[in-house]
Amino acid sequence: MTEEGLKRLDQALNPSAVAIIGATAESDRVGYAVVESLIMGGFSGEILPIHPRHQEILGKQVYASLDKTPVTPDLAIVALNEHASIEAVKECGRFDVKAAVCVAAGYKEVGKRGAELERRLSEAANSANVLLIGPNTLGVMNAEARLNATFWPISLEPKGHVSLISQSGGVGQIIGFEMLSEGIPFNKWIGVGNRASMDFDDFLQYLLSDPSTDVIVAFIEGTEKARSFVDVAMEGAQQKPIIVMKAGKEDASRKFALTHTGSMAGSYKMYNDIFEQFGLITVHSIPEMISAAKALSLAPVPTGNRVGILTPTAGPSIILSDLLLEQGCQIPSFNQETMLDMSKQFSGVPVVLKNPLDASAAGYDARSYVSLAASIARDPNVDVLVAISIDHKNRTFPAQELVELTRDLGKPIVVYYICAPTDGAQSRAVCQEGGIPFYTSAEQAAWGTASLIRRRRAMNSWGGA
């Protein structure tokens, strides 16, 4: 994309005024949900619903047509059907609206007739000089500007540092919910839809240049412009971690993708091999994607792949070790000095000093836990410490002390905290604000840890520090 295009997109994502063409007062319609989303998102600019007859929708004054609005919107959300959307885009051009999000389906994904409509839509946007997002998209969001330009009415507070590009709105919603659930809210949320005009490479280029985005995650079904995506991504990965999930492992499900956003899906293995080669972090599920995004957006990158594990009980560390080893991590022996240091701390209690270290014999108090954690983290054989804990009403988890430890040493610490779904919130907040990714399952902890190590490997391949 040109500098001009990037600027235009930036303006669309940071608008002063947004028009909703096809706004309606019927609460089960998309044209209603779009207005509601803008309001719920917390947008502080002008919200301008367009409808020939309505007076007011959700307390917002309605305008009969685009030329009747008091200000020129920077962005229009078109919530009309696949035919009317084409006219609406032309109208955007006539009244100087620079960008449009088209939500309608019924284009390339439904076959030949739809493809022809899509060609006309795209042509209309080109001639009218309108930046076209979609069609067949849930829309876009920018938490930085509190812009929720979708038909998914959610609040955009708080905002985080991970941005996402998703070919599927529904999968984008899964990612959004999962990020919320994991305490790493998104910064920008882009539904690319059918990519009639703006494609993955354009949005990726934008997010790479976006100072509020630290980590990028992408869900891809397939694209005909894979080459130019890879060109942008291979350079981009050296600036920021890019985490990619490609759908369609199985032949049969690749066929489904074709009738979804009209994309040729391409071989799962081929995509992943190429992505890996260029230093992208490929993932195979949404939970893996979010676990990686969490680690890469919070923790420092380790110098190597050797993981030290501290646990209050052995079983969970066996499950975790299995997963870490599968992912190419090493679980080294501690060095002599560390062993000596530990055996002092256990003062004569019978215990096998090994990695993973079972701390149960030292009692369950926070002080001895931190002290053992420090011994492991300081061991020169250890590049990452994974600290396991189990929620217990009579025990305190030393979150703050671990935060100080990771800061002092500059080594990543990953927490695997076993708890009921409603517990651990306080400890998580302290950890994650302090640069420690906090997970509640062994799988997440292993994916997070492995993603840090994979990032190191990629950085080494570029000769980076």
Q: Which 35-94 residues touch its own copies, going by CB under 8 A? A: 36, 82
The CB-of-295 to its own copies minimum distance in angstroms stands at 19
Positions in 242-261 near its own copies (CB under 8 A) = 247-250, 252-253, 256-257, 259-261
Q: How many other C-beta atoms are found inside a 10 Å radius of the C-beta of residue 146?
A: 18
Alpha-carbon separation of residue 145 from 10, 59, 93, 206 (angstroms): 11, 21, 24, 16
**Residue choice 33, 125, 207, 430 for contact with its own copies (CB under 8 A):** 33
Q: Of 91 and 182, which has the nearer Cβ to its own copies?
A: 182
| Nearest Cα residue to 149 out of 251, 38, 47 | 38
The CB-of-288 to its own copies minimum distance in angstroms stands at 10
Distance of alpha carbon 375 from alpha carbon 392, whole angstroms: 24
**Residue choice 27, 277, 460, 461 for contact with its own copies (CB under 8 A):** 27
Distance of alpha carbon 73 from alpha carbon 95, whole angstroms: 9
Positions in 400-459 near its own copies (CB under 8 A) = 418-421, 441-443
Please list the alpha-helical segments (H only) found in 347-424.
Answer: 366-378, 399-409
**Residue choice 25, 319, 339, 409 for contact with its own copies (CB under 8 A):** 319
- For its own copies (CB under 8 A), the number of binding residues is 82
The CB-of-173 to its own copies minimum distance in angstroms stands at 6
Distance of alpha carbon 241 from alpha carbon 155, whole angstroms: 26
Q: Is 264 a binder of its own copies (CB under 8 A)? A: no
Positions in 274-313 near its own copies (CB under 8 A) = 285-287, 311-313
The CB-of-29 to its own copies minimum distance in angstroms stands at 8
The CB-of-65 to its own copies minimum distance in angstroms stands at 26
The CB-of-114 to its own copies minimum distance in angstroms stands at 6
Strand partners, 147: 142
Alpha-carbon separation of residue 325 from 120, 317, 368 (angstroms): 53, 12, 27
Check the CA dihedral 302-306-311-317 and report its sign: positive
The answer to whether 387 touches 310, Cβ cutoff 8 Å, is yes
Q: Of 127 and 285, which has the nearer Cβ to its own copies?
A: 285
Distance of alpha carbon 416 from alpha carbon 140, whole angstroms: 33
Identify residue 447 by its one-letter amino acid code: W
Q: Of 122 and 261, which has the nearer Cβ to its own copies?
A: 261
Q: Of 102 and 458, which has the nearer Cβ to its own copies?
A: 102
Distance of alpha carbon 132 from alpha carbon 135, whole angstroms: 8
Positions in 334-393 near its own copies (CB under 8 A) = 349-352, 354, 356, 358, 360-361, 363-365, 390-393
Positions in 134-193 near its own copies (CB under 8 A) = 152-153, 166-174, 177, 180-181
The CB-of-341 to its own copies minimum distance in angstroms stands at 20
Identify residue 372 by its one-letter amino acid code: L
Distance of alpha carbon 131 from alpha carbon 75, whole angstroms: 9
217-236 footprint of its own copies as x/- string (CB under 8 A): --x-x---------------
The CB-of-423 to its own copies minimum distance in angstroms stands at 8
- Rounded to the nearest 10°, the torsion over CA 378, 380, 386, 389 is -40
